[in-house]
């Protein structure tokens, strides 16, 4: 599994964070089959935390 998190400066003091991943391999396949999906929840926690830290 490979993750990429490009961060881009935008006008008006904004920032864009993109998430990209391969989801290839046995560990990714095992996690993708679980409900609720821990990959989705874990990946969403990261940008949610960034937003919370930036708004302080």
Residue 39 lies in a domain: yes
Residue 18 lies in a domain: no
Structural domain including 36 reads 1-7+26-56
Count up the domains in the chain and report the number: 1
Non-local (6+) Cβ contacts of 20 within 8 A are 3, 4, 5, 6
Residue 19 lies in a domain: no
Q: What is the pLDDT of residues 5-55, one digit of tens each?
A: 899 999 998 888 888 877 788 887 887 778 887 877 877 888 888 888 888
Non-local (6+) Cβ contacts of 27 within 8 A are 1
Closest among 30, 6, 3 to 16, alpha carbons compared: 6
The C-alpha atoms of residue 42 and residue 39 are separated, in whole angstroms, by: 5
Residue 17 lies in a domain: no
- Would you state the pLDDT for residue 11? 97
Higher per-residue pLDDT: 49 or 56: 49
CB 47 within 8 A of CB 19: yes
Residue 46 lies in a domain: yes
- Would you state the pLDDT for residue 8? 93
């Amino acid at each position: 599994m490979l993750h990429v998190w490009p961060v881009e400066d935008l006008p008006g003091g904004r920032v864009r964070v993109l998430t990209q991943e391969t989801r290839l391999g046995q560990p990714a396949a095992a996690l993708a089959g679980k409900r609720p999906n821990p990959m989705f929840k874990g990946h969403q926690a990261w940008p949610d935390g960034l937003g919370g830290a930036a708004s302080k």
